[in-house]
């Protein structure tokens, strides 16, 4: 069901939940919310759990970092509870984000932003151009790196030097991107694209019953976890 | 606002966003590992990298919106690439883009020099810090620690995004590939 | 017959005394151009690179002057109306364009989405779009590509998809901006055949820009020379190989699973061409030679030069001179002079012409102490003058004792410069052969999807299938 939800509706619901979470500093609200999201994912979404665990791992590490930072550098009002709360918040946010990422098709997300949230077609189609260029640019990235390796440019070990060494890669990539952008924009305009809003979309992204049910589910979970914070 | 934009300018923003999206992603993973060891402060010195695209695109195109739109597009593209930080990146993109935009708007889009770029980088840092303060629950941390994070982030914004952005734009301008954009117009340096 | 009926047709395009310049330039791109095209004509516009052919074409589909704030004088009439009368997007349903770069003319991921995007632009009601897509795919023979992801297709396939996107508009005029540039000769020949077949289905006007008119056979009714071609510099004489010294010795070189173990040697000053179909592993083999891919076997010497198709990928510094001295080599001034780079030695390597970029790349390799140079597809998109310049550049270096291994599809080029040919097919390397032997061997040509140099015989077998 979560997979069938409209991407814009899902996006709005998830953003609202995250903002609401930000006002709670007790450990129970984010913990209950996190477990609820995992439960929703288990019952109502199709997700590869292997990939999920793999992507969750860095956030788990981040949560640990948060935990001890709050313990050591917390202000006078912070307690073990606050430290736990912030770590659980990291987990709650991450699980919510992954729920979105794993159940939403990227292209449909942009089409939906354009159809439901009235994003300008000029911007929406430009984002889609960028997205379909990704494999081309990635390929170029590795080609440039190889060519420069041959000339003796090494990837430095120190992170600061690594940031400054990026300019060697960035300049040819950006110069190429300027050229590609102009060519692609011309090709789009030559096919009559003017960026006007009144398009009749071939692929319509709709809002349906799954959205009502999904939104309700997330709202119930949100209220439930808030209640858990007050009661426990 | 979009009426005055040429399509090639918007597509350019998008492709720059993809290039920097790839870079952002590379650094996000590095940051994650550090974050587990030294806590949320691990990201702070790197934060400027996340603001650089708005400064580069603004200095090339020089129209209202040229800071906030590419920053948001970069975030949207990161989400499309399957970034696990997900939808909240888009919100973060809008907010830090607005921070950079504010600095350019304050000069009424008339001045494009290192000082303004550093202000824009710092502006993005301030806006993103407020957002991070709320969502990351920094309120629970001691004032000194939060202040330290804040200072590092603003410095990173001014140095990496401001100075780094200026450096990259100058290098790109020297390659002669920006012909036909506002930055190469004769009165651009007035 | 055809020509006669064309004579009575109206002008669909009419340019009178047209001049054009970019706002920041003093010099016009072109001046006082007069050019008419009648309905149903097939015209090719020729002229050397940089004479303004593309700018002219962009005036015909209204990409210019708006997109560059260019300044136009004279009258441009499209379908007997001043061009400026058309609102943005209006003319593009009647005049469709196919561009030269197959990689950057798409917006969506799949062929179906791309066609739908085009039809949506034309405000075709969504209910009719599916039928229109089906129709155009059938007409263009691309039915099996409907769901394909465009960026995974070959260059030739992408150009067909781009043409289908133009065709779906049901245009009256088709503009083609060097559509063959990035295609290998066999694919280019197929593309022309396919276009001819399409053209026979409707009374379409075709205006193309191209400098390889011979690739098109009898496709065009007339050629219009915008500016007469530059004088070709005289071809350099190739000196016979003097020394028998081995310059490169590859043993059991392999990249699993792309290239099977291969062995060959080249002599000092030898020019060898590496040929084979797309995807046969040419680029991989070259990268393996240069040590950019881990390999089995051995290559001596260790340091081998590499010039990618985009030479700027190699550039790291801010001037041509620094680029040559980056590796810490000596004799920079002499190499600059020999490669005619002394005039641009202080320029940014990204800002010089394509030919100069390639010279800079070769110079950098020589200064880095890499006297064996591999090149990846250096001929793509080069006009006659640039090709001659490239040939002379290579021949002059080879005469000095530099050894070359060049991956290319272009057998006319190979015929002019190669001492020997190495052929690669599905990762199996064979050769070296003498070029003459290969041109006569039909079986060998066909297996490696090669066309004998123009003037010679060609194989009829198209090498890409289209449903």
Q: Which residue of A has its CA nearest to C122?
A: A192
3-state helix/strand/coil string of chain A: CCCCCCHHHHHHHHHHHHHHHCCCCCCHHHHHHHHHHHHHHHHHCCCCHHHHHHHHHHHHHHHHHHHHHHHHHECCCCCHHHHHHHHHHHHHHHHHHHHHHHHCCHHHHHHHHHHCCCCCHHHHHHHHHHHHHHHHHHHHHHHHHHHHHHCCCCCCCCHHHHHHHHHHHHHHHHHHHHHHHHHHHHHHHHCCCCCCCCCCCCCCCCCCHHHHHHHHHHHHHHHHHHHHHHHC
- Give the Cα separation of B98 and B117 in Å (integer): 14
Domain range for B72 is: 2-184
State the pLDDT at residue C457: 39
Query: Given a cut of 80, is residue C440 above it in pLDDT?
Result: yes
Q: Rounded to a whole number, what is the distance in Å from the CA of B113 to chain C's nearest CA? A: 21
- Extract the tokens encoding C134: 């089906």
Q: Give the SS3 label for residue C5.
A: helix
Q: What is the pLDDT of residues A173-219, one digit of tens each?
A: 999 999 999 999 999 999 999 988 788 999 999 999 999 999 999 99
Residue A191 Cα distances to A181, B8, B48, C89, C117, angstroms:
15, 14, 39, 8, 9
Selected residue of C348, C352, C360 to mutate for chain B interface (largest B Cβ count, 10 A): C348
State the pLDDT at residue C23: 85
Domain-located, residue B82? yes
Percent of chain C with pLDDT over 90: 45
Query: Given a cut of 90, is residue C220 above it in pLDDT?
Result: yes
Regarding predicted confidence, which is higher, B46 or C333? Answer: C333
Residue C156 Cα distances to C54, C59, C98, C110, C357, angstroms:
21, 27, 13, 16, 27
Strands C246-255, C296-300: pairing kind:
antiparallel
Regarding predicted confidence, which is higher, A52 or C232? Answer: A52
Judge: A190–C125 Cβ closer than 8 Å, yes or no.
Answer: no
Strands C11-21, C205-209: pairing kind:
unpaired
Q: Which residue of C has its CA nearest to B185?
A: C24
Q: Which long-range contacts (CB under 8 A, 24 or more apart) does C30-34 make?
A: C30/C55, C30/C56, C30/C226, C30/C227, C32/C74, C33/C74, C33/C226
Q: Rounded to a whole number, what is the distance in Å from the CA of A82 to chain B's nearest CA? A: 7
Domain-located, residue B189? no
State the pLDDT at residue C462: 38
List the strands of the sheet with C30-38, edge to edge. Answer: C30-38, C11-21, C71-78, C81-82
pLDDT band at C465; cut points 50, 70, 90 = very low
Q: Which chains, if any, share at least 3 CB pairs under 8 A with chain B?
A: A, C
> Which bin fits C25, alpha (ψ -120 to 50), beta or left (φ > 0)?
beta
CB pairs under 8 A between A and C: 139
pLDDT band at C461; cut points 50, 70, 90 = very low
Domain-located, residue B171? yes
State the pLDDT at residue C8: 58
Task: Rounding to the nearest 10 degrees, give the CA dihedral for residues A154, A157, A162, A166.
Answer: 20
Domain-located, residue B118? yes
Domain-located, residue B120? yes
State the pLDDT at residue C273: 95
As for how many domains chain B has, the answer is 1
pLDDT band at C459; cut points 50, 70, 90 = very low
Q: Rounded to a whole number, what is the distance in Å from the CA of C225 to chain A's nearest CA? A: 25
DSSP 8-state code for residue C170: -
Average pLDDT (C404-416) is 90
Which residue shows structure tokens 């030559």?
A190
Contacts of B47 in chain A (CB under 8 A): none
Contacts of C124 in chain A (CB under 8 A): 200
Contacts of B184 in chain C (CB under 8 A): 24
State the pLDDT at residue C89: 85
State the pLDDT at residue B40: 65
Domain-located, residue B67? yes
Q: Which residue of C has its CA nearest to A153?
A: C316
pLDDT band at C234; cut points 50, 70, 90 = confident
Q: What is the pLDDT of residues B112-123, one digit of tens each?
A: 999 999 999 999
61-100 in C: which are within 8 Å (CB) of A?
A: 61, 63, 67, 88-89, 92-93, 96-97, 99
Regarding predicted confidence, which is higher, C221 or A231? Answer: C221
Q: Which chains, if any, share at least 3 CB pairs under 8 A with chain A?
A: B, C
Selected residue of C152, C165, C316, C363 to mutate for chain A interface (largest A Cβ count, 10 A): C316
Strands C305-307, C30-38: pairing kind:
unpaired
Low-confidence residues of chain B: pLDDT under 70: 1, 27-40, 186-190
State the pLDDT at residue C110: 95
Q: What is the pLDDT of residues C283-305, one digit of tens each?
A: 889 988 988 887 778 888 888 99
- ipTM summary value: 0.89
Average pLDDT (A121-134) is 94
Lowest mean pLDDT among A72-86, C22-36, C213-227: A72-86
Query: Given a cut of 70, is residue C219 above it in pLDDT?
Result: yes
Query: Given a cut of 60, is residue C6 above it in pLDDT?
Result: no
Judge: A189–C310 Cβ closer than 8 Å, yes or no.
Answer: no
Q: What is the pLDDT of residues C302-329, one digit of tens each?
A: 889 999 988 999 999 999 999 999 988 8
Lowest mean pLDDT among A33-42, A153-162, B6-15: A153-162
Judge: C120–A153 Cβ closer than 8 Å, yes or no.
Answer: no
> Using CA of residue C338, residue C343, residue C347, residue C352, what is the dihedral sign?
negative
State the pLDDT at residue B30: 67
Q: Is A122 on the interface with B (CB under 8 A)?
A: yes
CATH value at residue B41? 1.10.1760
Contacts of C325 (CB under 8 A, 6+ apart): C332, C367
| CB A226 within 8 Å of CB A24 | yes
Query: Given a cut of 60, is residue C230 above it in pLDDT?
Result: yes
Radius of gyration from C-alpha coordinates of chain C: 24
Q: What is the pLDDT of residues C150-176, one digit of tens each?
A: 999 888 889 989 999 999 999 999 999
pLDDT band at C52; cut points 50, 70, 90 = confident
Q: Is C348 on the interface with B (CB under 8 A)?
A: yes
Contacts of C348 in chain B (CB under 8 A): 174-176
Judge: A69–B36 Cβ closer than 8 Å, yes or no.
Answer: no
Regarding predicted confidence, which is higher, A173 or A230? Answer: A173
Judge: C350–B186 Cβ closer than 8 Å, yes or no.
Answer: no
pLDDT band at C278; cut points 50, 70, 90 = confident
Domain-located, residue B190? no
Average pLDDT (A145-165) is 81
State the pLDDT at residue B31: 64
Strands C246-255, C222-225: pairing kind:
unpaired
Average pLDDT (C107-135) is 95
Q: What is the mean pLDDT of chain B?
A: 87
State the pLDDT at residue C198: 80
Domain-located, residue B173? yes
Contacts of C22 in chain B (CB under 8 A): 180
Contacts of A77 in chain B (CB under 8 A): 140
Strands C222-225, C205-209: pairing kind:
unpaired
Q: What is the mean pLDDT of chain A?
A: 89
Q: Which residue of A has its CA nearest to C128?
A: A202
Buried b / exposed e across A143-178, counting CB within 10 Å, b at 16+? bbbbbbebbebeeeeeeeeebebbebbbbbbbbbbb
Task: Rounding to the nearest 10 degrees, give the CA dihedral for residues A174, A175, A179, A180.
Answer: -30
138-197 in A: which are within 8 Å (CB) of B?
A: 138, 141, 159, 163, 166-167, 170-171, 173-175, 177-182, 184-186, 188-189, 193, 195
pLDDT band at C456; cut points 50, 70, 90 = very low
Out of C66, C68, C351, the one facing B176 most closely (by C-beta) is: C351
Residue C237 Cα distances to A58, C214, C233, C243, angstroms:
64, 25, 12, 18
Judge: B40–A66 Cβ closer than 8 Å, yes or no.
Answer: yes
State the pLDDT at residue C410: 83
- Extract the tokens encoding C313: 């990928």
- Give the Cα separation of C216 and C196 in Å (integer): 10
148-187 in C: which are within 8 Å (CB) of A?
A: 150-151, 162, 165-166, 169
Task: Rounding to the nearest 10 degrees, give the CA dihedral for residues C387, C388, C393, C394.
Answer: 70
Judge: C24–B177 Cβ closer than 8 Å, yes or no.
Answer: no
State the pLDDT at residue C254: 83
Q: Which residue of C has its CA nearest to A172?
A: C313
Contacts of B176 in chain C (CB under 8 A): 348, 350-351
86-145 in A: which are within 8 Å (CB) of C?
A: 107, 125, 128-129, 131-133, 135-136, 140, 143-144
Regarding predicted confidence, which is higher, C209 or C51? Answer: C209
| CB C36 within 8 Å of CB C53 | no
């Amino acid at each position: 069901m979560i997979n069938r939800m409209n991407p814009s509706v899902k996006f709005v619901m998830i953003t609202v939940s995250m903002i609401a979470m930000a006002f709670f500093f007790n450990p129970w609200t984010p913990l209950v919310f996190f477990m609820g999201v995992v439960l929703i994912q288990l019952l109502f979404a199709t997700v590869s759990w292997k990939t999920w665990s793999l992507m969750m791992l860095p956030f788990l590490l981040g949560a640990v970092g948060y935990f001890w930072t709050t313990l050591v550098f917390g202000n006078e009002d912070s307690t073990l509870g606050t430290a736990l709360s912030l770590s659980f918040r990291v987990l709650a946010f991450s699980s919510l984000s992954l729920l979105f990422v794993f159940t939403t098709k990227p292209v449909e997300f942009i089409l939906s932003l354009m159809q439901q949230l009235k994003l300008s077609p000029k911007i929406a189609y430009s984002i889609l151009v960028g997205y379909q260029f990704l494999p081309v640019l990635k390929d170029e990235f590795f080609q440039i790196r190889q060519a420069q390796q041959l000339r003796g440019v090494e990837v430095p070990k120190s992170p600061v030097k690594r940031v400054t060494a990026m300019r060697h890669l960035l300049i040819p990539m950006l110069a190429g991107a300027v050229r590609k952008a102009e060519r692609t924009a011309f090709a789009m305009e030559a096919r009559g694209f003017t960026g006007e809003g009144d398009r009749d979309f071939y692929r319509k992204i709709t809002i349906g019953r799954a959205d009502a049910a999904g939104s309700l589910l997330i709202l119930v979970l949100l209220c439930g976890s808030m209640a858990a914070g007050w009661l426990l | 606002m979009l009426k005055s934009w040429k399509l090639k300018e918007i597509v350019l923003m998008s492709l720059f966003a993809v290039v920097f999206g790839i870079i952002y992603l590379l650094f996000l993973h590095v940051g994650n590992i550090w974050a587990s060891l030294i806590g949320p402060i691990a990201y702070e010195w790197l934060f400027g990298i996340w603001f650089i695209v708005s400064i580069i695109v603004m200095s090339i195109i020089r129209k209202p919106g040229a800071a906030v739109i590419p920053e948001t597009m970069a975030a949207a593209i990161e989400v499309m690439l399957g970034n696990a930080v997900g939808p909240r990146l888009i919100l973060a993109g809008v907010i830090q883009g607005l921070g950079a935009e504010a600095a350019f708007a304050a000069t009424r889009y008339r001045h494009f020099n290192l000082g303004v770029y550093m202000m824009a980088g710092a502006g993005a840092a301030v806006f993103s810090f407020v957002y991070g303060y709320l969502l990351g629950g920094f309120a629970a941390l001691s004032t000194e620690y939060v202040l330290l994070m804040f200072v590092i982030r603003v410095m990173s914004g001014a140095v990496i995004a401001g100075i780094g952005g200026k450096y990259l734009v100058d290098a790109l301008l020297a390659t002669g590939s920006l012909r036909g954009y506002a930055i190469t117009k004769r009165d651009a340096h007035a | 017959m055809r020509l006669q009926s064309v004579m009575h047709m109206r002008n669909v395009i009419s340019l009178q005394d047209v001049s054009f310049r970019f706002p920041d330039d003093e010099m016009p791109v072109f001046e006082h151009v007069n050019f008419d095209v009648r309905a149903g004509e097939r015209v090719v516009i020729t002229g050397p690179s940089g004479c303004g052919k593309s700018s002219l074409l962009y005036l015909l589909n209204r990409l210019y002057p708006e997109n560059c704030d260019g300044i136009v004088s004279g009258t441009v009439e499209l379908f007997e109306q001043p061009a400026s009368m058309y609102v943005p997007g209006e003319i593009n349903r009647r005049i469709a364009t196919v561009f030269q770069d197959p990689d950057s003319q798409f917006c969506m991921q799949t062929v179906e989405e791309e066609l739908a995007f085009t039809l949506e632009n034309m405000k075709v009601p969504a209910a009719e779009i599916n039928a229109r897509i089906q129709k155009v795919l059938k007409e263009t023979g691309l039915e099996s590509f409907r769901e394909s992801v465009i960026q995974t297709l070959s260059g030739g396939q992408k150009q067909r998809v781009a043409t289908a996107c133009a065709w779906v508009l049901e245009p009256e005029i088709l503009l083609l901006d060097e559509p063959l540039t990035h295609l290998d000769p066999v694919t280019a020949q197929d593309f022309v055949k396919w276009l001819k077949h399409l053209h026979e289905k409707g009374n379409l006007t075709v205006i193309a820009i191209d400098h390889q008119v011979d690739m098109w056979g009898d496709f065009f009714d007339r050629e219009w020379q915008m500016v007469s071609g530059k004088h070709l510099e005289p071809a350099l004489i190739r000196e016979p190989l003097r020394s028998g010294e081995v310059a490169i010795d590859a043993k059991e070189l392999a990249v699993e699973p792309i290239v099977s173990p291969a062995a060959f040697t080249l002599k000092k000053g030898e020019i060898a061409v590496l040929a084979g179909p797309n995807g046969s592993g040419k680029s991989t083999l070259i990268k393996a030679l240069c040590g950019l891919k881990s390999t089995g076997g051995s290559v001596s010497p260790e340091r081998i030069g590499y010039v990618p198709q985009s030479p700027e990928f190699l550039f790291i510094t801010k001037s041509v001179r620094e680029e040559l001295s980056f590796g810490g080599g000596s004799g920079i001034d002499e190499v600059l002079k020999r490669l005619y780079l002394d005039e641009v030695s202080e320029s940014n390597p990204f800002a010089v012409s394509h030919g100069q970029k390639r010279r800079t790349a070769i110079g950098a390799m020589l200064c880095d102490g890499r006297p064996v140079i591999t090149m990846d597809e250096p001929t793509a998109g080069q006009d006659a003058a640039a090709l001659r310049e490239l040939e002379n550049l290579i021949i002059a270096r080879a005469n000095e004792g530099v050894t070359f291994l060049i991956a290319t599809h272009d057998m006319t080029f190979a015929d002019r410069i190669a001492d020997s040919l190495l052929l690669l097919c599905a990762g199996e390397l064979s050769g070296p052969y003498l070029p003459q032997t290969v041109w006569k061997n039909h079986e060998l040509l066909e297996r490696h999807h090669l066309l004998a140099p123009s003037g010679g015989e060609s194989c009829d077998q198209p090498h890409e299938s289209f449903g």
